[in-house]
Amino acid sequence: MKTIIFDKNDYKSFKDFYKDIFIKLDGPHTNDFKDYTDLNCSADMLFEFLYYKEDENVKYILKNFDLKAIKTEKPYENYMLNLIVKVFEDFVKEYPNNKLEFVNDK
């Protein structure tokens, strides 16, 4: 199983997170997504993009995401991060050959 780590500390905003997802999942070489760089920062587009990757058996690790803060959905940044987290959670439920793990630095 391939492992891809997304570390919250690497991002200044949710937009950087979208860009990193696109890059790490080889978006520039994925049919129908070649012209994008950040999935238009859209949760719907993210889910559609992940659908193209559903058979790759990936373990997604979301590192240093404060889920309690994100789930409050305030401020706007947390709201947008929560949408991304929900997409990953829904995706791994629908495609259980993929996994999602949350870890934090100690």
CA distance 88 to 77: 17
Mean pLDDT across 36-44 = 95
Reported as a pLDDT band with limits 50, 70 and 90, residue 10 is very high
Give the pLDDT confidence score for residue 106 in this predicted structure: 67
pLDDT at 65 exceeding the cut of 90: yes
Closest residue by Cα to residue 80 from 71, 89, 68: 71
Q: Which two tokens stand for residue 34?
A: 């070649």
Residue 20 DSSP SS3: helix
Q: Evaluate the omega torsion of the peptide bond into residue 75 and state whether it is cis, within 30 degrees of 0.
A: yes
Mean pLDDT across 15-19 = 97
